Chain A
Amino acid sequence: QLQLRESGPGLVKPSETLSLTCTVSGGSITSTNYYWGWIRQPPGKGLEWIGNIYYTGSTYYNPSLKSRVTISVHTSRNQFSLQLTSVTAADTAVYYCAPIQPGGNWFDPWGQGILVTVSS
């Protein structure tokens, strides 16, 4: 059974780069079944899809964030990562990672999430 866990700094300064890692256990990130996704949720607000990656490196990004987002995959470590550049307070959120189930294109299971605060 897949389990995912987000890790990284909980505090990032404005204008700097947010970097997070998602570690996958209970399965291989090179599985042909899944894309791997990032989703975020600002405090008190709804969910926003950030982007997805396949183990080959193929990516899809939310157009609203595309100019600032890079998602990478690290197959030897069974991890994938998120980089978001030029952050502002509006990027303060809980960031989740999850695999995308084939067929219905749904996210499951979700990692526990990590709160990233953008503040000086």
Chain B
Amino acid sequence: NFMLTQPHSVSESPGKTVTISCTGSSGSIASNYVQWYQQRPGSAPSTVIYEDSQRPSGVPDRFSGSIDSSSNSASLTISGLKTEDEADYYCQSYDGSTFWVFGGGTKLTVL
């Protein structure tokens, strides 16, 4: 089955920019949309990016998403890091047929 692979953890300082990758195991990641969810401890996930690069209302423009077909990966970039951005981030996609999949999640530490 289709799988999405994320780094286990990333860390960066406040005010800096961090990028989290999400690599597809097979096929073209560009064939189906990728979403990104933020999950703070004890809370349900919430969407920060949908359809590769779209931001829901209320999500600051410090959050952006992109697709790189050459590496078969999606990326979530957070600029101007704030301590409140510290959370787990999950990518998610769909195989185009019958299967929805999440990446393993990346713990972002802002220190």
Contacts and interface: CB of A to CB of B under 8 A. Distances in A.
Contacts of A39: 102
A69 to B, nearest CB: 14
Contacts of B32: 105
Interface residues of A, number: 24
A104 B102 contact: no
Contacts of B47: 106-108
A63 to B, nearest CB: 7
Given A37-B100, A60-B98, A104 B46 contact: no
B-side interface size class:
20 to 34
A63 B92 contact: no
A106 B36 CA distance: 9
A60 to B, nearest CB: 5
Given A103-B51, A106-B35, A46 B102 contact: yes
Contacts of B93: 105
Secondary structure dominating the interface of A: loop
A111 B44 contact: yes
Interface string B68-111: 00000000000000000000001011100011111111000000
B6 to A, nearest CB: 9
Interface stretch (A26-34, A47-55, A72-80, A81-89): A47-55
Contacts of A106: 33, 35, 47, 50-51, 92
B45 A63 contact: no
B44 A105 contact: no
Nearest to B6: A46
B101 to A, nearest CB: 7
A84 B92 CA distance: 23
A-B complex: 9 closest residue pairs judged by Cβ atoms: A104-B33, A104-B51, A106-B35, A105-B94, A110-B44, A47-B102, A49-B100, A46-B105, A108-B47
13 contacts: A37-B100, A46-B104, A60-B98, A60-B100, A103-B33, A104-B50, A105-B33, A105-B94, A105-B100, A106-B51, A107-B45, A109-B46, A110-B45
Given A96-B44, A107-B37, 6 more contacts: A46-B103, A103-B33, A104-B35, A108-B50, A108-B56, A109-B46
